[in-house]
């Protein structure tokens, strides 16, 4: 029986469930585990490398680094573990080289980036071993065979690759673990010791994978690889999840639970059982991330709300049906409409993720989205800019449209694509979209004008100066109808930098009394009328009603490609 090993996980983000699971698994086998968290506030690509190296941030960082290096050396690790998303890959490589030199330990890299481009990572001198796929069992076997491998024996462990004498030894693509209930709960204590504030929100996943393959998402890379092993979307049992949550509640007393599944509650039967037991046995407010295909069922939203749901983050990305098709989004606009209506009805706080930079999208698509969000008024519209990650199918579309060139692929696969998903991403001419970015972010501070499906049944009242004629309303209806159908609307003025029109809303001329230098708002209708696309069409008008009825679903509601029990 080989001796227990000393394992150090080096991690740059605040909490990683993957690391938590791996640490817990190997600790349950008797190995000693250290977690070193580099509290890098810049890891999330808010700041570019050159700014990170500035005298102020650089000095602070190097002090933290020296301290952590001492801790690692004192621990005398046998194995240094790095969990790599593409944005962290370069940082992990540099850190691994330093730590290897300081400790003499073996380095192993795993995570999404490694699984996506193992052939490249295998050439990296900072990396001794690569772990493809979900690495709990593979890591345990590496620890068992580490001494033999160091003396020249081969490793025959599924998913573990290495380079020896210039040759790359490959052992397949590793595992998508099917029996999730058999995994020990993630080692939260390691993170909470470092950052106690994390314990206020206990994060968990009730599943792994997703049945869909949106072309900008890692699932589109993973599903084709792992589907042959069984299901890619794998669901933990309600028993197992409730056991973790009751244990977590007793141990850490969190204020909230946050479910970070790719798509939470994919099965209706599961969610109903979960919601009932959660209320009875856990009863702590919770938030989750999911998709509209799940929230499209009133019963699902209702039972989650009754169980204590306080916030949902829901992916939308685009509301144009054609765009949705081009990136393989699963939901139709009708399903979005249903999901938002139910969340409004049950007063669930929700945040939608909207993507800027989808190849081929135009101003009309953003106007359409603004109108749609205005109608339902999600609590937050978060904008994420499209950024290309290795092997994603959307790269083909970007190349087709001339957004990416062959030589960009190497930068993407080597983690050198420094575009920020928060600002600009890889969008060509990104400045053109900044106005929309602003409008999405501030939508909730603009007057609420929606009616159907929205939280407020009465739109804010204009103070009488711009009561519109039915002709004006009909003309707006036509404008909106054009937007629904994805056509660009005609003859609008614009909000600066957005092309979002001022339209025909307030026909009353501005009062001429407002002199230069006075607030430009003075003398105007007090209810800002500029954003006509956000102004509802009068609900009494039949034309308007027709214009606002979402078009029929382009994709028939039904199960996802990999999961028959998926809630349509």
Residues 18-37 that bind ligand B12 (CB under 6 A): 18, 21-22
CB burial of residue 104 (10 Å; 0-12, 13-18, 19+): exposed
Q: Which does 213 bind (CB under 5 to 8 A by kind): ligand B12, ligand SF4, none?
A: ligand SF4
Max Cα–Cα distance, the chain, nearest Å: 90
Binding mask 186-225 for ligand B12 (x = CB under 6 A): -------------------x-----------xx-------
Q: What's the min distance (Å) between Cβ of 132 and ligand B12? A: 8
Q: How far is CA 566 from CA 163, 178, 530, in A?
A: 42, 18, 42
Q: Which does 388 bind (CB under 5 to 8 A by kind): ligand B12, ligand SF4, none?
A: none
C-beta closer to ligand SF4: residue 93 or 215? 215
Helix (H) or strand (E) holding 483: helix 470-484
Q: What's the min distance (Å) between Cβ of 486 and ligand SF4? A: 21
Q: Which does 13 bind (CB under 5 to 8 A by kind): ligand B12, ligand SF4, none?
A: ligand B12
Q: How far is CA 462 from CA 510, 521, 529, in A?
A: 15, 15, 9
C-beta closer to ligand SF4: residue 329 or 337? 329
C-beta closer to ligand SF4: residue 219 or 323? 219
CB atoms within 10 A of CB 30: 11
Q: Which does 263 bind (CB under 5 to 8 A by kind): ligand B12, ligand SF4, none?
A: ligand SF4
Terminal-to-terminal C-alpha distance of the chain: 51
Q: Which does 423 bind (CB under 5 to 8 A by kind): ligand SF4, ligand B12, none?
A: none
Total residues at interface with ligand B12 (CB under 6 A): 35
Q: What's the min distance (Å) between Cβ of 216 and ligand SF4? A: 7
CB atoms within 10 A of CB 154: 12
Judged by CB under 6 A, the residue of 77, 110, 435, 501 near ligand B12 is 110
Sheet holding 256-259, edge to edge: 201-204, 256-259, 286-291, 309-317, 349-356, 380-385
C-beta closer to ligand B12: residue 384 or 423? 384
Binding mask 72-101 for ligand B12 (x = CB under 6 A): ---------x-x-xxxx-------------
Q: What's the min distance (Å) between Cβ of 216 and ligand B12? A: 7
CB burial of residue 84 (10 Å; 0-12, 13-18, 19+): buried
Closest CA to 326 of 413, 408, 222, 400: 400
Residues in contact with ligand SF4 by CB under 6 A are: 210, 212-214, 217, 219, 262-263, 291, 315, 330
Kindly calculate the radius of gyration of the chain based on its CA atoms and give it in whole angstroms: 26
Q: What's the min distance (Å) between Cβ of 330 and ligand SF4? A: 5
C-beta closer to ligand SF4: residue 315 or 357? 315
Residue 415 falls in which region: left (phi positive, over 0), alpha (psi -120 to 50) or beta: left
Report if residue 533 touches ligand B12, rule: CB under 6 A: no
Helix (H) or strand (E) holding 403: none
What are φ and ψ of residue 505, in 5° steps? -60, -70
Q: How far is CA 398 from CA 262, 402, 519, in A?
A: 24, 6, 44
Q: Which does 85 bind (CB under 5 to 8 A by kind): ligand B12, ligand SF4, none?
A: ligand B12
C-beta closer to ligand SF4: residue 213 or 474? 213
Closest CA to 287 of 349, 372, 337: 349
Judged by CB under 6 A, the residue of 78, 128, 136, 562 near ligand B12 is 136
Closest CA to 25 of 154, 239, 183: 183
Q: Which does 531 bind (CB under 5 to 8 A by kind): ligand SF4, ligand B12, none?
A: none
Q: Which stretch binds ligand B12 (CB under 6 A): 11-19, 150-158, 495-503, 543-551?
A: 11-19
CA distance 226 to 253: 36
Closest CA to 218 of 312, 343, 117: 117
Q: What's the min distance (Å) between Cβ of 296 and ligand SF4? A: 13
Q: Which does 131 bind (CB under 5 to 8 A by kind): ligand B12, ligand SF4, none?
A: ligand B12
Residues 234-293 that bind ligand B12 (CB under 6 A): 260, 262
Residue 79 near residue 106 (C-beta atoms within 8 A): yes
Binding mask 346-385 for ligand B12 (x = CB under 6 A): --------------------------------------x-
Positions in the binding site for ligand B12 (CB under 6 A): 13, 16-18, 21-22, 43-44, 81, 83, 85-88, 108, 110-113, 116, 131, 134-136, 138-139, 205, 217-218, 260, 262, 384, 389-390, 421
């Amino acid at each position: 029986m080989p001796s227990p090993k000393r394992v150090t996980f080096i991690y740059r983000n605040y909490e990683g469930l993957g690391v938590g699971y791996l640490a817990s698994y190997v600790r349950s086998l008797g190995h000693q585990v250290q977690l070193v968290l580099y509290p890098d506030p810049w890891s999330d690509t808010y700041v570019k490398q050159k700014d990170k190296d500035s005298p102020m941030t650089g000095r602070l960082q190097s002090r933290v680094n020296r301290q952590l290096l001492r801790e690692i050396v004192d621990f005398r690790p046998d194995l240094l573990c790095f969990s790599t998303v593409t944005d962290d890959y370069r940082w992990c490589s540099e850190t691994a080289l330093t730590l290897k030199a300081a400790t003499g330990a073996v380095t192993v890299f795993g995570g999404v980036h490694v699984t996506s481009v193992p052939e490249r990572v295998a050439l990296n001198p900072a990396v001794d071993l690569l772990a493809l796929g979900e690495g709990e069992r593979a890591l345990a076997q590496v620890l068992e065979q580490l001494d033999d491998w160091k003396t020249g024996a081969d490793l025959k462990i599924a998913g573990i690759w290495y380079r020896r004498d210039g040759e790359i030894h490959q052992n397949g693509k590793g595992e998508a673990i099917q029996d999730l209930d058999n995994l020990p709960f993630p080692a939260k204590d390691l993170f909470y010791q470092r950052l106690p504030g994390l314990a206020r929100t206990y994060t968990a996943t009730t599943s792994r994978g997703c049945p869909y393959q949106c072309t900008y998402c890692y699932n589109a890379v993973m599903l084709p690889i792992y589907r042959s092993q069984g299901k890619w979307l794998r669901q933990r049992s309600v028993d197992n999840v409730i056991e973790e949550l009751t244990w977590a509640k007793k141990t850490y007393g969190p204020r909230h639970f946050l479910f970070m599944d790719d798509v939470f509650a994919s099965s209706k039967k599961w969610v109903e059982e979960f919601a009932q037991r959660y209320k009875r046995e856990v009863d702590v407010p919770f938030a989750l991330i999911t998709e509209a295909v799940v929230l499209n069922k009133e019963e699902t939203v209702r039972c989650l709300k009754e169980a204590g749901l306080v916030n949902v983050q829901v992916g939308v990305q685009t509301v144009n049906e054609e765009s949705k098709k081009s990136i393989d989004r699963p939901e139709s606009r009708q399903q979005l409409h249903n999901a938002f209506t139910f969340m409004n009805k049950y007063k669930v706080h929700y945040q939608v993720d909207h993507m800027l930079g989808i190849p081929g999208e135009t101003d009309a698509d953003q106007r359409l989205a603004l109108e749609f969000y205005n109608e339902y008024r999600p609590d937050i519209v978060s904008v994420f800019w499209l950024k290309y990650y290795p092997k994603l199918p959307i790269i083909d579309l970007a190349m087709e449209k001339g957004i990416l060139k062959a030589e960009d692929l190497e930068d993407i696969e080597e983690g050198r694509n420094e575009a920020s998903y928060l600002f600009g991403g890889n969008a060509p001419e990104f400045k053109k979209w900044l106005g929309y970015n602003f409008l999405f972010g501030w939508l909730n501070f603009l007057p609420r004008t929606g009616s159907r499906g929205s939280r407020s049944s009465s739109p804010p009242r204009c103070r009488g100066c711009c009561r519109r004629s039915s002709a004006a309303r009909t003309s707006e209806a036509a404008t909106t109808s054009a937007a629904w159908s994805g056509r660009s609307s005609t003859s609008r003025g614009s909000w600066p930098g957005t092309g979002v029109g001022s339209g025909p809303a307030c026909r009353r001329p501005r009062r001429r009394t407002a002199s230069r230098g006075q607030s430009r708002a003075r003398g105007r209708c007090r209810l800002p009328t500029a954003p006509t696309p956000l102004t509802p069409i009068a609900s009494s008008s039949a034309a308007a009603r027709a214009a606002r009825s979402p078009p029929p679903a382009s994709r028939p509601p039904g199960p996802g490609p990999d999961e028959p029990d998926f809630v349509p």
